[in-house]
Structure 1
Amino acid sequence: MEGSTIMAGEHREFQSRLIVTALDADGRSTFVSDGPTTDRLVADGYTRNHLWQATQVPTPVMAPNGPGGASIIPPPPAGYNYVITAFAPDSEWDYEGGYARILAESGAGDAVDPTDAPGMHTTDTIDIVTVISGEACVLLDAGETTMRQGDTIIQRGTKHAWRNRTDRPCVVSAVHISVIR
């Protein structure tokens, strides 16, 4: 883009704003919090903003759910996580050597088979992922596809990897839902 500057590590600055509503003492809808999410994992390959977590589904509407205690990929059993993640361009970090490490930092290290291609992993989740900005490639055993702004994938516990082959961060929103195999 003419006139714009691409900064290495730009994904590290990505910060989500979380606004939460509830009912006040009179039963009226109200805002109970509004601010930057504090539950973030900043890694070489991505910055994950962990916005919400439920420990069970269905969830009582006013249950004391929240961001959870750590920015991890696997949701609680019978629950879900909602995250917004900014992926760095592959060219900005050691994708092949670092992906297993950052999956481990995200609580998904056991999802990696060291005999697979770099980045391939399997989690016990259904992931509903939508690209907000940028472009991401999703790799599976039998092929790959490129996702762009507005595209959504329903990833049903299959082996997969994410790549950002562009020169800009790719921002995605995702719901990770716990599943039974």
Structure 2
Amino acid sequence: MAQKYRRVVTGHDKNGVAKVIMDEEASCILQRPNRPGVTLTNLWQHSETPAPMEIHEDPVTGPLILHPPENGAVFRIVQFDPEDPEVLAKLDGATAFAEMGAGANVVQGARHPFMHRTDSLDYSIILSGEIYMLMDEEDVLLKAGDVVIQQGTNHAWSNRGTEPCMIMFVLNHATK
């Protein structure tokens, strides 16, 4: 069962008084059979830099795609349940990533079917659990509280443990 997230957004009323303008369960969620055990929940995004200080409309109502908007960023949490190696061996990473508009980002012939690269600068923090970050030639065990700054490198996530792992991501549009 995927974790649910309450999203509280602040702003101002017409008189400039600070107030809560949204208080609801985050609803931009992606779960799919081509990547079982992984749930993406988008919490916020913007499509210009600098970001607008205040908007009152929900910016994450459309389909969930992997990449941040051009000149923008996306804030999300991903839940990685423990992997089943037998199920993983039968999955097609390109098909799963294509469902998020990123089929071309999968690294063909890589050592993990979900090895991919994004053209973004990503800030990540492990919120709970443990996970391996697979790079081209090394595996790095990450635990709750660890932070990763991903600079457009090939990588995959592998939960080899027994508990779900939650990771918070901020993906920023970047240029080479």
Shared topology, TM-score over 0.5? yes
Letter in 1 for 2:108: P
TM-superposed deviation, 1:164: 0.2
CA distance in 2, matches of 1:180, 1:114: 23
Cα deviations across residues 6-62 of structure 1 (Å, max 9, x unaligned)? Answer: xxxx3xx32211111111111111001111111100131301111111001211201
Aligned match of 2:105: 111
Number of matched pairs: 170
Distance in 1 between residues matched to 2:90 and 2:70, nearest whole Å? 30
Q: Residue 139 of structure 1 corresponds to which residue in structure 2?
A: 134
- The equivalent residue for 1:5 is none
Q: Residues 43-62 of structure 1 correspond to what in structure 2 (within 5 A)?
A: 43=32, 44-62=36-54
> Matched residue of 1:102: which SS?
helix
Q: How big is the alpha-carbon RMSD for the aligned residues of Structure 1 and Structure 2?
A: 1.7
151-160 or 41-50, which deviates more: 41-50
Go from structure 1 to structure 2 and tell me whether the alpha carbon gap of 1:142 and 1:49 turns closer, same or farther (over 3 Å shift). same
Once the 2 structures are TM-superposed, how far is the Cα of residue 93 of structure 1 from its aligned partner? 7.2
2:72 alignment partner, one of 46, 58, 79: 79
Greater mean deviation of Cα atoms: 116-125 or 152-161: 116-125
String of CA shifts for 1:96-152, please: whole Å, max 9, x gaps.
333613222222211013222222111101111111110010011131211111111
| Equivalent residue, structure 1, for 2:19 | 30
TM-score (norm 1): 0.87
Q: Which moved more, 1:65-74 or 1:91-100?
A: 91-100
Please tell me the residue identity of whatever aligns with 1:79: G
Contact 1:19 1:35 in 2 (8 A): yes
Which letter maps to 1:111?
N
In structure 1, give the amino acid aligned to 2:117: T
Greater helix share, structure number: 1
Q: 2:87 aligns with which of 64, 84, 94?
A: 94
Contact persistence 1:53–1:65 (CA under 8 A): no
CA distance in 1, matches of 2:3, 2:41: 8
Structure 1 runs of 4+ off > 6 angstroms?
A: none
1:175 equivalent in alignment to 2:170:
yes
Of residues 84-93 and 69-78 in structure 1, the stretch that sits farther from structure 2 once superposed is 84-93
Aligned-pair identity (%): 31
